[in-house]
């Protein structure tokens, strides 16, 4: 059995981090099924492939909320958090080999970190852009992306449309600014340990103080 692992939402300032692992009987079984890096697929195609993957293979999904990430970051860095989550997703499926999308500049080191978090023996193939190189990782990328997008839509029901949740999205930044001005603090879905949130919070508070 082999599996692929990928995540969605690593750099997001709003919403969860989602890690997915997809496991099948062989590497070849994932070929010629239309799986590709989720960012290169349309939403409708991702949804279609999501159903196909879930019906065809064993899938493991782990999500970490903004507050959980903030708490973990008190003790360790983001790469270590993701490596541990990758290991948890692999652990649930127990493959003989796992292909992972490296979240460290040093792909070999990242693979060793993932392996060090496992409670069983598994060959870890860690590469940059693995979601484009290996269809099994592409499958995991699709599962992670669709799952996170659906969780973001659930957050829209509570907060309204705040965009993608990434710092590069002006809609997300405008939402954060307006929310903090209205409520005094960031929303529960915000990663408060992120510099982006801290900077906006400080700016809003300084602006408020200057009004008095």
pLDDT tens-digit readout, 95-138: 999 999 999 999 999 999 999 999 999 999 999 999 999 999 99
Query: What confidence score (pLDDT) does residue 47 get?
Result: 96
- Look up the pTM and report it: 0.94
| Residue 207: pLDDT band with limits 50, 70, 90 | confident
What's the pLDDT tens digit per position in 10-31?
999 999 999 999 999 999 999 9
Question: Is 164 buried (19+), middle (13-18) or exposed (0-12) by CB count in 10 A?
Answer: middle
Pair 16, 9: CB distance under 8 Å? yes
- Phi, psi values for residue 62, rounded to 5°: -125, 135
What's the pLDDT tens digit per position in 153-200?
999 999 999 999 999 999 999 999 999 999 999 999 999 999 999 999
Question: Is 10 buried (19+), middle (13-18) or exposed (0-12) by CB count in 10 A?
Answer: middle
All structural domains of the chain: 2-156 (3.30.420.10), 159-206 (1.10.10.460)
Distance CA(186)–CA(13), nearest Å, equals 11
What's the pLDDT tens digit per position in 29-63?
999 999 998 989 999 999 999 999 999 999 999 99
| Residue 8: pLDDT band with limits 50, 70, 90 | very high
Query: What confidence score (pLDDT) does residue 39 get?
Result: 87
């Amino acid at each position: 059995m082999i599996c692929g692992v990928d995540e969605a939402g690593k750099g997001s300032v709003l919403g969860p981090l989602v890690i997915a692992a997809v496991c099948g009987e062989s590497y070849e079984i994932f070929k010629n099924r239309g799986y590709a890096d989720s960012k290169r697929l349309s939403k409708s195609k991702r949804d279609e492939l999501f159903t196909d993957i879930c019906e065809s293979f064993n899938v493991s999904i782990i999500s970490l909320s903004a507050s959980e990430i903030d708490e973990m970051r008190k003790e360790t860095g983001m790469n270590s958090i993701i490596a541990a989550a990758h290991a948890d997703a692999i652990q649930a499926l127990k493959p003989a080999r796992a292909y992972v999308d490296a979240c460290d500049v040093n792909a070999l080191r990242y693979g060793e970190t993932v392996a060090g978090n496992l409670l069983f023996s598994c060959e870890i193939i860690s590469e940059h852009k693995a979601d484009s190189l290996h269809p099994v990782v592409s499958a995991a990328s699709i599962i992670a992306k669709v799952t996170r997008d659906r969780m973001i839509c659930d957050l829209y029901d509570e907060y309204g449309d705040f965009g993608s949740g990434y710092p590069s999205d002006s809609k997300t930044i405008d939402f954060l600014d307006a929310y903090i001005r209205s409520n005094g603090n960031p929303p529960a879905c915000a990663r408060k340990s992120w510099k982006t949130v801290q900077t906006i919070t400080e700016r809003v508070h300084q602006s408020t103080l200057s009004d008095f």
